[in-house]
Structure 1
Amino acid sequence: MRTRLLILALVSGQTVLANEIQVDGKLDEAAWQGAAIYRDFYQVVPATLMQTQNKVEGRAFATADGIYIGFKNWQKQGERKKQYNLQDAFMQADFNRFVIDFSGDGSGAYQFAVTLGGGVQDAVLTPQLTTDADWDGIWQSAFYEYKDYWSSEVFIPWHSVSFKPNRTNDGMANVGVSLQLYELATNHIYASQPQTTSNSDFYLKMPKIQASIPEQQQWAFIPYATHQQDFVGEASNTDMGFDLVFKPDHHQKLSLAVNPDFGQVDSDELDLNYSTVETLVTDKRPFFTQDIGVMNVNAEQNTKLIHTRRIGAGSDDGQKVITPIDGAVRFIHQGDNWQFAGFAALEEELDSGAGKDFYVGRARYREDTWQSGVLVTHTERPWRDRNAQTAAWDSQYQSDTWSWQSALLASAVTERGEDSQGYGVSTNIKYQFDPNTHLTGRYLRLDDEFDNNDLGYRKRNNWRFNELYFSHAVNYSSGFINRIQYNVQLNYESNDSGLKLPATQSYWASFILADGSSFDASFDYQTAGWDDLIGAGLGQYENRDLLKSWFFYGSPYTGSFSWAASFRLDQEGIDGLAQQYAVDMTWMPHENWSLKFNNFYRQGDGMVIASGPGQVAEYDRRLFANYINVSGLLSDKLELSMIFQWAILDADTKAVYDIRGHHLSPVSAVDNSFTDQRFTSQIKLRYRLGAYSDIYVVYNRGAGQFDQDVGSKEWLSELNSMWQQREQDQLTFKVRYLF
């Protein structure tokens, strides 16, 4: 992308006359000569913290319109890897990554990356230093190649994010800027500060530049329309909606969305989940990914009070897999110390009244090294005569060596006149001995009445989770190994009544080799404990001790072909043993194209699932999953991606047990064998008109098949049958445009 602006650049309080700036990757305009220069870089992966001035040079300056970031990477032709990737996809190329803390106070930041080849990634970096890659921002980037180095250039407008400028007495604002080069050939990372986002003092040590950030008012209107043709149901549907955004200034934003539910065109990955834990799926819908850092409450084990995939999910009467959303509204205010936010989303009522309404409010106060806040949610489900509320009081503290995060959680549910109230607590304490060594303690308790699933997510309730995690890395400057990282994880789990649950004790070692390849090995010991969730909640029995092992090798990423392979050998189930194999291959025949071919196979005789109330079955099973992805550029603005996923589970009954008096009692002459096969495919064309402006043409085809006839049919013939007798076959045309 390119932009032409006649600007007056302000760097460190000095005025620099800037000629016409063109984001082309060359860094040849006069304004770059007056930029803040980053010459000292540190090797942060492996974390030798060796200082260098011959790997990368960074530059940054701010204007009235936004911030410009530039890199010069001293990698000669033949020593660097150039490859394009789709937005937010894995970057198999040399790349520059950088973090911008627009407020300069650690209240949150944004992470960006651009590859040699034009691929990009962006993500929200929360105050707890966790990343959320679902966010997509408005920014521009370009790269350019020279004989002895390559350069990248980025422009991020102030209006692309919400933040409170941290102004000094002279009216200038401090903006945190941290720069990195990822060197693909060696798996090394060089950074402008001797910390990464895994270090608790990352925000505290971020270098700052000064910027004159004017007060700005902005309107944005993003209408979109889709037309969908269903070839199975022989029906078509046309839908329209829009997002309207008003920003009185950088620290305030009001967003309104009408019919926003079809904002995500990509299909989810196949999920053959027969466990008692729901699969956590992320949300790429644009309305729900904005300003998520302010709403974030960090609790252990992915416990969330806001899981936006609940909004617009299946209707309560079971008639709609996706419930249309009539509208949603969100506001953000970020003051010097206080932050306030809230949103509401209203689903369509439907003929049965099965639509749901969701409301969220957030307030947070912060100082330099700590913050504390409250989050409340309210969900109305008229069809079920159910109202649900959740609340959290969360706090955080960070210093050079310590970080601490905690949350007190509560829920209150009324359904058909019956009331229930639950509570929980989450704590994470980390001590950083040095950049290579840290110790973390984690604790989560959710009582048996805690229920946040109306709008949130949890793995389970009635749970006490304790973990002690130690990590230590040793770095080498010569030899065939660059780094060895050792990790020890000790867990203890019980339900809220104190009944001991299975818990995993783990040792894991990771090796980065000098040629850029990697090797990992882990050994796990799962202690005996009671399974109190299986048996449809009507029984519990004690599992045995289990030993598990895993080995992984990843080839160097350089060249046109790379691969990775892993092997697992696990004890499992009641008396079973399992083997698992995985092979991932990537072929890049051209710098703009890549083909990924991933295969997963697990076989064993210890898969245990509930087969009825108070009854479990152990299966001899085979699970195979295949993933093929072809992606690249047809032209500068036209992307093509093709995805095919296929999974098959053959489960042959080994034994069936009734749970009687906490013991397993064998049941004879019962056969619960089954085969579960599914496939999904997608061909997507995306024409990029600009930021939040695209034209999509998407074709989806998929099917599933479930029966009890195990092992009597060939897998490939069954795949061909599902392809012909598809359950999903639709073509979608979508256009959106930012005004």
Structure 2
Amino acid sequence: MPNLSIVAIACLFACPALANAALVIDGRPDEAEWENAHRYADFRVVVPYTLGEPTLPTEALLLSTPDGIAVAFINTHPPEVPRLKPRLERDQSRASDHVNFIIDFDGDGRVGYGYSVLLSGSIADYVVTNETSFNYDWNGDWRSAVHETDEGWTVEMLIPWSAVAMRGSDTPSRLVKVHFDRVLGTTRERSGAPPAAASRGRFVSDFAPLEIPQYRRASFHVFPYLTAQQDFVDDDRDYKLGADLFWKPSAGFQLSAALNPDFGQVEADELVVNFDAIETLFTDRRPFFTENQGFFDLHTPDDGQLIYTRRIGGASDDGSGRAADIDAALKVNGSFGSLGYGALAAQEADDAGRSFYAARLLRSLGPALSVGWLGTYAERPALDRDANVQTFDLSLRPGPQWRVDAQLLASAVKTGEVSTRGDGAWARVKWTPTDGWQHEVEALHFGRDLDFNDMGYQRRPGLNQLQATTEYVHRAAAGNARLRATRWRAKAQARSNDDGEALPGVLRLTQTSDFRSGASLQFDLTLESAGIDDLISRGNGDWERPARQRLIVTHRTPVQRHWQLRSELHVFEAGLGGTAVGEKFMLDWFPRDDFNLQLRVEPLHPGDWLVWERGREFGRYRRRMHIYGVDANWFPGRKHEFRLKAQWLAVDAREGRGYRLEGGTLAATGERLPDFAVNSFGLQLRYRYEFAPRSDLYLVYSRGGTLTTEGDPQSSFDLLEEALQLRDADQFLAKLRFRF
């Protein structure tokens, strides 16, 4: 039994002073204190970006209290306007009436924390970095409530002062930047105050500045967890015990620690069968690695990430293919005045266990300029390898129409007795001269030896890229026009590798029409010039790839009573030539507020497919692909959730012929290659019971696997029947995680 004095001390930090709180978070902003709140009533339509008057009025309130930042929304919604209020899992995306509050606690445009509340009471939270990069992996500590009437609905939120680490926490007041928005579920109209929009390239920088009183609030939380797993394949049982600890003595400092953290067994990744030379990028839902991670979240062009937390506890370097166990991890975030700092360390178990370290400094030099440094180090004893990466970054906002971002990178990697050093740099300038126009120019250089993949995610080294983007939005002049707005976007990209060889250039033209009903129609045409593909053979020679084109047509219907459909048509050139056609259908069905279902169907009709086999050897096949999924959610009570998620992915390759790469050209060898199929299936049944705030019991059954077979071609029915028998994994898991 824990020492009662320790529990009492912990409660002084962790337990909010609800007994003496002036505000009761019940969804009704009717206390007298709200009369002194800052009010935001000038909402403008930002999706589509028309800046017109919204269909329904909204008012937002913000009040700084000793317990935290209190926010309220007053949403007019008369009975004749349909309401969409499905109950959803946390962070689940479906058409719904909801509100968002996003706050930049440091007021410097670097990181925004978003809090979303649905009319049903469901919530979502996320972090916005690099102006427009949304990450829903983060789950914050906050409270909310909804109250509904015939004429509308109201929301209250309370975000504790201990929610995140902030700079300048010792002053009596702080300058924050805030944004409020509301989404109508049936038409997808989004209105915001101020009228900032992520589609404009600048988002967090356009939030409204606000000076509010600042209060100190300490917190100390320990989240022990226990899992019990039954493996039905190996007839084995496994028990695991660990904990996450979060200590924040002040708003300017937070320490996070994890002992034997789990790898998120209650979450299911999307099925992927990847034959490409570029690794698939996955998200990370582990609490330790999402808490205050926005400070370390530095991206590069070409979809790079300087810290990719899935590396920690990822596939072990011992060659077993299993996920590495993590002994412990530690993270520190804090600030001294205008200087923010952070450090991250993690150690994996066993002799092959890797060590990961990162440190970050960020200095604000006024409201328009900030500079930073990030260093990472990864030690991989099983490979006799260590990697050191250093980066310097700059963000300049000389005015409301301009933003400049730049970064310098350097890496030093040693494998055995061989050492390599690489460097890189990139810069991006965004200019928004009017509400209708925006432009962006980006230049990048990655040296051939630049390598930040040991702790980060890098699609490729040896890249020179110049990219220009321009966008224009035309708004409907008539308030009752069927078409609300049309957006045209053009992106041109010239690329070469570090040997001066031209990589395929890209011209992408996009036209989007948003209708008043909530429907949308988009045409996306991509033209790629001929150029060198220097990745396809994994270092065994370059292929002079011919020019290619791709057309994607996307249509989203308005909400029709209890359903909504999104459909896509893909027409593209692949392999050595020829046209492939694929479709994608996403059906959302919500017959009741407590039940929703999403069906996903993605057939790819037979088309040309090129597969690297080994060395300079390739196979050319005629490919079919099936991707089907179902995601069903039932909420029998406020604290109970049932989820069924099933996915099937099958690739059927036929009529294989051998090709060899010689002198930049793929020449037929005359060899017949056997037909093959890759079949992958995953099923998860999950029950979640939230018995206290941030305290959950999970019961999860999972089954699935992947199988590659050669031989006679199989029908779609045979492939599905085979998939349902896959049993690489077959297990039941019980997990208890609670806040102490």
Aligned to 2:421: 421
Query: What pairs with 1:265-664 in structure 2 (closer than 5 Å)?
Result: 265-349=266-350, 353-366=351-364, 367-398=366-397, 399-476=399-476, 477-557=479-559, 559-664=561-666
Tell whether the 8 Å contact from 1:56 to 1:181 is kept in structure 2 after alignment: yes
Matches of 2:709 and 2:317, distance apart in 1 = 27
Return the offset for 1:445: 2.0
2:129 counterpart (126, 130, 148): 126
- 1:329 alignment partner, SS class: strand
Q: What amino acid does structure 2 have at the position aligned with 1:23?
A: I
Return the offset for 1:682: 0.5
Q: Give the structure-2-normalised TM-score.
A: 0.94
Moved more, 669-678 or 698-707: 669-678
Count of residue pairs brought into register by the alignment: 721
Tell whether the 8 Å contact from 2:474 to 2:486 is kept in structure 1 after alignment: yes
Return the offset for 1:387: 1.0
Q: What amino acid does structure 2 have at the position aligned with 1:685?
A: Y
Q: What amino acid does structure 1 have at the position aligned with 2:18?
A: L
How has the CA–CA distance of structure 1 residues 425 and 230 changed in structure 2, closer, same or farther, with 3 Å as cutoff? same
Return the offset for 1:706: 0.6
Q: What's the CA shift string for 1:676-728, capped at 9, x where partnerless?
A: 000001011111134431111111000221111242x3333343334335111
Tell whether the 8 Å contact from 1:300 to 1:428 is kept in structure 2 after alignment: no
Matches of 1:27 and 1:689, distance apart in 2 = 27
Q: What amino acid does structure 1 have at the position aligned with 2:146?
A: F
Return the offset for 1:733: 0.7
Q: What's the CA shift string for 1:170-217, capped at 9, x where partnerless?
A: x33333332111122332221121222444665555334443322233
Tell whether the 8 Å contact from 1:578 to 1:605 is kept in structure 2 after alignment: yes
Aligned to 1:150: 153
How has the CA–CA distance of structure 1 residues 361 and 190 changed in structure 2, closer, same or farther, with 3 Å as cutoff? same
Tell whether the 8 Å contact from 1:100 to 1:176 is kept in structure 2 after alignment: yes
Gaps of 5+ in 1: 9-17
Q: What's the CA shift string for 1:250-292, capped at 9, x where partnerless?
A: 0101112111133452121100111111111111111011111
Matches of 1:127 and 1:451, distance apart in 2 = 22
Matches of 1:503 and 1:383, distance apart in 2 = 39
Matches of 1:302 and 1:508, distance apart in 2 = 20
Aligned to 2:6: none
Q: What amino acid does structure 2 have at the position aligned with 1:618?
A: R
Matches of 1:182 and 1:333, distance apart in 2 = 35
Q: What amino acid does structure 2 have at the position aligned with 1:418?
A: V
Q: What amino acid does structure 1 have at the position aligned with 2:380?
A: R
Return the offset for 1:482: 0.5
Aligned to 1:15: none
How has the CA–CA distance of structure 1 residues 541 and 235 changed in structure 2, closer, same or farther, with 3 Å as cutoff? same
2:89 counterpart (74, 81, 86): 86
Q: What's the CA shift string for 1:144-168, capped at 9, x where partnerless?
A: 2111111111111111211125777
Tell whether the 8 Å contact from 2:440 to 2:470 is kept in structure 1 after alignment: yes
Tell me, yes or no, if structure 1 residue 184 matches structure 2 residue 185.
yes
Matches of 2:175 and 2:363, distance apart in 1 = 20
Return the offset for 1:4: 8.1
How has the CA–CA distance of structure 1 residues 519 and 52 changed in structure 2, closer, same or farther, with 3 Å as cutoff? closer
Q: What amino acid does structure 2 have at the position aligned with 1:363?
A: L
- 2:717 alignment partner, SS class: helix
- 2:722 alignment partner, SS class: helix
Aligned to 1:112: 115
Matches of 1:107 and 1:459, distance apart in 2 = 24
Matches of 1:409 and 1:210, distance apart in 2 = 36
Tell whether the 8 Å contact from 2:167 to 2:340 is kept in structure 1 after alignment: no
Q: Give the structure-1-normalised TM-score.
A: 0.94
Tell whether the 8 Å contact from 2:651 to 2:678 is kept in structure 1 after alignment: yes
2:700 counterpart (698, 701, 706): 698
Tell whether the 8 Å contact from 1:323 to 1:348 is kept in structure 2 after alignment: yes
Q: What's the CA shift string for 1:447-469, capped at 9, x where partnerless?
A: 22112111111111122222211
Q: What's the CA shift string for 1:492-524, capped at 9, x where partnerless?
A: 111111111123211111111121111111222
Q: What amino acid does structure 2 have at the position aligned with 1:88?
A: D
Tell whether the 8 Å contact from 1:611 to 1:672 is kept in structure 2 after alignment: no
Aligned to 2:9: none
Matches of 1:102 and 1:327, distance apart in 2 = 29
Matches of 2:334 and 2:411, distance apart in 1 = 26
- 2:305 alignment partner, SS class: coil
Return the offset for 1:104: 3.1
How has the CA–CA distance of structure 1 residues 688 and 331 changed in structure 2, closer, same or farther, with 3 Å as cutoff? same
Return the offset for 1:312: 0.6
How has the CA–CA distance of structure 1 residues 523 and 104 changed in structure 2, closer, same or farther, with 3 Å as cutoff? closer
Q: What amino acid does structure 2 have at the position aligned with 1:720?
A: E
Q: What's the CA shift string for 1:25-58, capped at 9, x where partnerless?
A: 1222222233222222222223332356961111
Q: What's the CA shift string for 1:85-130, capped at 9, x where partnerless?
A: 1111113111111111223343422011111112211111225342
- 1:49 alignment partner, SS class: coil
Aligned to 2:8: none
Q: What's the CA shift string for 1:420-469, capped at 9, x where partnerless?
A: 11111122211112233211122222222112111111111122222211
- 1:287 alignment partner, SS class: helix
Matches of 1:639 and 1:4, distance apart in 2 = 30
Aligned to 1:136: 139
How has the CA–CA distance of structure 1 residues 311 and 142 changed in structure 2, closer, same or farther, with 3 Å as cutoff? same
How has the CA–CA distance of structure 1 residues 129 and 594 changed in structure 2, closer, same or farther, with 3 Å as cutoff? same
How has the CA–CA distance of structure 1 residues 419 and 377 changed in structure 2, closer, same or farther, with 3 Å as cutoff? same
Moved more, 484-493 or 100-109: 100-109
How has the CA–CA distance of structure 1 residues 167 and 53 changed in structure 2, closer, same or farther, with 3 Å as cutoff? farther
- 2:597 alignment partner, SS class: strand
Return the offset for 1:608: 1.2
Tell whether the 8 Å contact from 2:44 to 2:54 is kept in structure 1 after alignment: yes
Matches of 2:536 and 2:203, distance apart in 1 = 42
- 2:433 alignment partner, SS class: strand
How has the CA–CA distance of structure 1 residues 54 and 551 changed in structure 2, closer, same or farther, with 3 Å as cutoff? closer
Q: What amino acid does structure 1 have at the position aligned with 2:259?
A: V
Matches of 2:40 and 2:560, distance apart in 1 = 27
Matches of 1:390 and 1:554, distance apart in 2 = 43
Matches of 1:204 and 1:651, distance apart in 2 = 49
Tell whether the 8 Å contact from 2:169 to 2:214 is kept in structure 1 after alignment: no
How has the CA–CA distance of structure 1 residues 66 and 449 changed in structure 2, closer, same or farther, with 3 Å as cutoff? same
How has the CA–CA distance of structure 1 residues 212 and 6 changed in structure 2, closer, same or farther, with 3 Å as cutoff? farther
Matches of 1:266 and 1:703, distance apart in 2 = 16
Taking only aligned residues, the RMSD between alpha carbons, in angstroms, comes to 2.0
Q: What's the CA shift string for 1:388-413, capped at 9, x where partnerless?
A: 11111111112311111111111111
Matches of 1:158 and 1:196, distance apart in 2 = 27
Matches of 2:309 and 2:135, distance apart in 1 = 13
- 2:526 alignment partner, SS class: strand
Tell whether the 8 Å contact from 2:131 to 2:203 is kept in structure 1 after alignment: no
Aligned to 1:25: 27
Moved more, 292-301 or 135-144: 292-301
Query: What pairs with 1:87-102 in structure 2 (closer than 5 Å)?
Result: 87-102=90-105
Tell whether the 8 Å contact from 2:45 to 2:53 is kept in structure 1 after alignment: yes
Matches of 1:725 and 1:358, distance apart in 2 = 35
Matches of 1:50 and 1:211, distance apart in 2 = 29
Tell whether the 8 Å contact from 1:617 to 1:672 is kept in structure 2 after alignment: no
How has the CA–CA distance of structure 1 residues 203 and 671 changed in structure 2, closer, same or farther, with 3 Å as cutoff? closer
